[in-house]
Structure 1
């Protein structure tokens, strides 16, 4: 059986889908790395909403996907940008997501960390930014989840220089009940975060970022670096205080960063592990045995798909992630909060399907093929 797929130039090409998925099974907990998958939310397709309405979430399907990730040993990074935080999911929706997911994690013994930001305000003074962070930090801690201090659009707008970042983050770290993860999200993921840490010069910004950590090493479990710059992440990793972890957020270079070198390695907190969950878990278990080459043999072939999903404009990678979840049977529809399913083109979807199918990511390749053909027919491509 074949399927006709459109290329970037509009011409149709013939592709023969695989008939069997990659064989993966849940296994033992990881021993060499701590690994989180940032997880997407499933929209309620029957809600009568517009792109400007508060998010309508299918809670059953959303929580079922988190159980899928936990079943393979992955931690869940909740209410992050993969969950369309700030791109369709507002603070009220994120708060409900955190409460529900944290309770679900407790019931199944899953690891969870949740995003703490300031998205209940669009802008404000430094005092208002602090208060917004405090409100969210309190909710996450009350839920029993680990906190991830996310980059704040409001702080980026209010801060006049590095000293403001040092003051705000220092204040939050002093009052955090448990060590947190600090998240540096680059402007390729959110243009409003340009110049974060008080400078557009990345060397100067890195120094400020590390100053925050050095002043409070006992309150920082780790950092998540999402700059898509492998060498900078390695440089930062080597400058961290002892005991502070580096969680790679580099969806372009994650295999080499997780594998590490003679001076250390990165743990992982990645959006691409949403569609790669079972395969990524299998690769990490191979790495647990000390087989670095076996780990790379499994994970290196996935980089092409990841780079495709995260291509410019990178912030729309969520569309590809949800598209693959639909094809894989994790949800019954391809609808997204905020109508974001329209953010990528049909040729983009076709390539994503082909790459994911080639990796064996679809538990039921026939279902994925049928759903891809359904999408193609909606665009006028008949088989």
Structure 2
């Protein structure tokens, strides 16, 4: 069987799908790295909503996908940007997602950490006190649900802060009252343009100094940092400056194999959106790394980088569309619909290349199903086979 796929120039090319998926089985818990997959949400395709409506979520399918990730030993990073936080999923939806996911994690013994932000604040011009109070409300909810907190970058704080000292003040108050160590998330402007200048400066060296100052003031309250700047050397340099006991979780979806493998001076753990579609393969690679086989780890994970770079290409914030598209092709959900109508955010040639790369990696448990669904999508666009 073959399939006609459109290229970037509009031409059609013939592709022969892979006949069998990659053979992967679940295994023992990881021993050398802590690994989270940021997870997407599954929209309710039958809800009568508009792009401006609150998100309508299919809770059964959403939680089933999390059980899929947990079954392979991955932790779930919940209610993060991969779940369309701030791009279709509002705070009310995120709060419900956090409570449901944390409860589900307890039933299966899964690792879960949840995003804490300020997205209940709408409109411009919020004070620092309002920003801090919003963070505190979300932190309390996450902790009451029994999950670890991830303090996410805040658009409202970025708009309200006038200096690095404002970040030190807000984060200092939050860390002082956190009941357990948290993960700090530095999300770069390529993922969210509204976060340009976070930590008080668009100069990344100056911003890094402020970030490290926040950590140094409360090292016992910081489990680790997630760095999403898509700059491998900057992450390595930052990793080497962390206080003892504070981990670095790579959020670099362009360079994750080398950062997780590390060097003779350390390594990064992982908290990655790309591990949503790569979950079973990523878990297999980490178990190989657990044996000390760095070469085998890289042989498994390096070939996935081309797919990741494709999904996260500019404008990077729309990578969620590719993630949900692959979940549909893989059979994890019955439709390709996203909250906020975000399924329209990428082009047909983009989808075609994502399908080709994912199929080549053996990511689809049922290649015939993926092929049939891809052909259905192509037919909707007028591409006949």
Q: TM-score range by the shorter chain?
A: over 0.9
SS of the residue 1:187 aligns to: coil
**TM norm structure 1:** 1.00
Distance 2:106 2:44 in 1: 25
Match of 2:169 in 1: 167
User: How big is the shift at 1:309?
Assistant: 0.0
Root-mean-square deviation (CA), in Å?
Answer: 0.3
Residue in structure 2 matching 1:131, options 107, 130, 133: 133
Query: SS of the counterpart of 2:223?
Result: strand
Once the two structures are TM-superposed, the CA of residue 109 in structure 1 deviates from its matched residue by 0.3
2-structure distance, mates of 1:303, 1:210: 29
Work out which of the residue numbers 314, 317, 320 in structure 2 matches 1:318: 320
| TM alignment of 1:299-318, pairs within 5 A | 299-318=301-320
Question: Which residue does 1:33 correspond to in 2?
Answer: 33
Separation in 2 of the partners of 1:376 and 1:224? 37
Report how far residue 368 of structure 1 moved: 0.1
Match of 2:238 among 236, 242, 252: 236
Task: Please state how far the C-alpha of 1:225 moved relative to its aligned partner.
Answer: 0.1
Distance of 2:186 and 2:59 partners within structure 1: 29
Residue of structure 2 in register with 1:16 after alignment: 16
Spell out, residue by residue over 1:22-66, the C-alpha distance to the aligned partner (whole angstroms, 9 max, x if none).
000110000000000000000000000000000000000000000
2:298 is aligned to 296
* 3-state SS of 1:64 partner: helix
- In 1: Cα distance, 2:11 partner to 2:290 partner: 45
CA deviation vs aligned residue, 1:225-271 (integer Å, no higher than 9, x gap):
00000000000000000000000000000000000001000000000
Residue in structure 2 matched with residue 176 of structure 1 by the alignment: 178
Which whole-Å CA distance do the structure 1 matches of 2:71 and 2:36 have between them? 13
Match of 2:337 among 335, 338, 344: 335
SS at match of 2:115: strand
Question: C-alpha offsets along residues 78-119 of structure 1, whole Å, 9 cap, x if unaligned?
Answer: 000000000000000000000000000000000000000000
Q: How does 1:213-362 map to 2 (within 5 A)?
A: 213-362=215-364
Aligned partners of 1:216, 1:171: CA distance in 2, in Å?
10
Residue 243 of structure 1 aligns to a residue whose secondary structure is coil
| Structure 1 residue 292, shift from structure 2 partner | 0.1
Q: CA deviation at 1:154?
A: 0.1
1:42 corresponding residue in structure 2: 42
The whole-number CA distance in structure 1 between the counterparts of 2:56 and 2:64 is 16
Unaligned runs of 5+ in 2: none
Give distance in 1, aligned partners of 2:83 and 2:294.
31
TM-score normalized by the length of structure 2? 0.99
Measure the CA separation in 2 of the matches of 1:201 and 1:161.
13
Q: State the match for 2:80 in structure 1.
A: 80
Write the distance in 1 (CA, Å) between the matches of 2:351 and 2:182.
36
User: Aligned equivalents of 1:210 and 1:232: distance in 2?
Assistant: 13
SS at match of 1:163: helix
* CA-to-aligned-CA distance 1:109-135 (integer Å, 9 cap, x gap): 000000000000034100000000000
Instruction: Report Cα offsets for 1:188-237 as digits up to 9, x if no partner.
Output: 00000000000000000000000000110000000000000000000000
CA-to-aligned-CA distance 1:148-199 (integer Å, 9 cap, x gap): 0000000000000100000000000000000000000000000000000000
Aligned length: 383
Query: What is aligned with 1:4?
Result: 4
Distance 2:57 2:288 in 1: 36
- Is 1:106 the counterpart of 2:106 in the alignment? yes
Residue 151 of structure 1 corresponds to which residue in structure 2?
153
Distance 2:313 2:25 in 1: 30
Tell me how far apart the structure 1 counterparts of residues 329 and 182 of structure 2 sit (CA, whole Å): 35
- Is residue 56 of structure 1 aligned with residue 59 of structure 2? no
